[in-house]
Amino acid sequence: MADLIARGMAKKNKDDIGSTSQQTSFRDYRGFGEIKLPSDFTPKLPFSLYRDRDGFIKHNMDFTKFENYTKVLYCDSATGSDSTGDGTTGNPYRSLKKSLQVSAGLSDTNILIRIRGDQLRGNGGDDSAAQAITTITNKNISIIPDGNSKIAVASAQNTTGYTGLAPLTWTADGTAWKTTRTNTWNVFDLNNRDVFGLAKPMEYASSLANCQSTPNTWYTDGTSVWVNTFDSRQPDANVLVCLNVCNFWVKMVGSTIYIRDLEFYSGFQSSAVTMAGSCFIQGDLASKIICNKCNFAGGEARGADGSTTAYTNGLQFIDTKEIYMFNCVGGYTRRDIFNYHYTGVSTGVRRSCIAFEYNCIAYNAGRYDPNGNNNAFTCHEGASVLRVGGIGYNTLGPVCADVNGCYSIFYDCSMRDSTVGSQYDQSSAYYFDNTSMVVPAKVVMINCEGGSPKYSIYGDTGLNINIRNFVGRKIKSDIALTLMS
């Protein structure tokens, strides 16, 4: 089975599909109407999926119910105050962190937080991972911008400063700009965005001279930071100097969190929780998280002296019964991007947990890390995962890796271009294993494609994989492959 193109597909190599329109152009147009998931896929979606007349899968998820809560708190990073504010529109809090802490203590069950202005260092976590995190118990909390623009949430400092610290002041130093700032982790420029709208991290320069000669770079000696912006401008409020502190960090108990149009940048690996990333949420079997049109970027993660340091992810959600990701984008991480773990969930009920992704895109995972197991998408500990219209590429490791006996269903997904050498099994578009599994893995792939140097699909010997209309090369020969009718 070195080369396989399943029924219904043109016999043509699509390992090098380029644009998004090309990636989504070879869909199966026969299965119109409601999508019926396999009867043994136990999680039940709170909405329907259906293939519309244009061939694309749609959903009827009602987001408005999360955005119409009557109890509303406002936070404004420019005019608000965490000490004298009361959360009203005329007297808002300053930080998202304060708004979440107040929400946790209210008698109201349903609370809407509206944000004005980027949130830097005032987030759901704290300045140090050793300190307390925000815990939400038996609440439904929605977090959205108070306007039409995305809001950046970052463990960062810029020219506007943040609570308790003065703004950064930049002075010219040759063709670069210099400021005083210790403990720098990443630098992002919100003006420099890629084709999917995600702000790119500046590249770390090996020396001050390199920084001065190379646009879109930064450098630190542990005390000062230099940047050379991509457009040669003086650093402004959109240049985020990210610190070695945690970013968004929330724990849910019997709660639901809905987030729309927020973008999370940087965040460090705490001593308390491994690989927290730019957005870290802990849940339980009575909790759910819904992210709608959110962005996630972990960044390069440098140490105080500029040396490479601990791992970080784009997002990490753990032990949460229901996870729903709609139209989210992640990239530029040291480790994984969309990352789900269930180590705190009893082994007997892990398969009832679900991570759902709809039209999510992830790329450039492991870009700054020598580890060969960095993924665009990954689910662990035998949970259930359903992906629709996902696109992943350019990862130092398997592009999509569901491990420990997961039940994985894919519709209309494209995974390609692992950057691991072709001599390694991790050089795969899709990677599945039964390591430490309780129940053997099962995989269903419909109208998907994939290509990487070694495998399109890798699975342990005998692993159960069912495909229909798959385009790809080099499927591992000893998996239990079934061609669906």
pLDDT digits 0-9 by tens, 408-431: 999 999 999 999 988 899 999 999
What CATH number has the domain bearing residue 393? 2.160.20
pLDDT tens readout for residues 204-248: 999 999 999 999 999 999 899 999 999 999 999 999 998 877 788
Q: How many degrees, rounded to 5, is the angle at CA 191 between CA 187 and CA 192? A: 70
State the amino acid at position 312 in one-letter form: T
In a domain, 131, yes or no: yes
What total of structural domains would you count in the chain? 1
CA quadruple 374, 49, 281, 260: dihedral, nearest 10: 110
The pLDDT tens digits for 165-182 are 678 999 999 999 999 998
Determine the pLDDT at residue 388: 98
Query: Does 207 fall in a domain?
Result: no
Residue 423 lies in a domain: yes
Segment 7-31 mean pLDDT: 39
pLDDT at position 437 is 94
Domain presence at residue 198: no
Please say if the pLDDT value at position 5 is more than 90. Answer: no
- Sheet containing 171-173: order of strands: 171-173, 176-180, 224-228, 217-220, 203-204
- Tell me what pLDDT residue 311 has: 63
Supply the mean pLDDT for the chain: 87
Q: Is residue 177 part of a domain?
A: no
Is 7 a domain residue? no
Given strand 49-51, what is the order of strands in its sheet?
A: 33-34, 49-51, 57-59
Q: What tokens does 411 get?
A: 């519709």
Tell whether 44 is covered by a domain.
no
Confirm whether 248 is domain-assigned: yes
Percent with pLDDT over 70 in the chain: 86
Residues spanned by the domain of 304: 49-153+243-483
Mean predicted confidence (pLDDT) in 341-360: 97
> DSSP letter string over 355-405?
EEEES-EEEEETTT---S---SEEE-TT-EEEEES-EEEEESS-SEEE-SS
Return the percent helix, strand and coil in the chain, to nearest 5. 5, 40, 55
Residue 203 has a pLDDT of 92
What's the rounded mean pLDDT across residues 35-62? 95
Q: Would you say residue 402 has pLDDT above 60?
A: yes
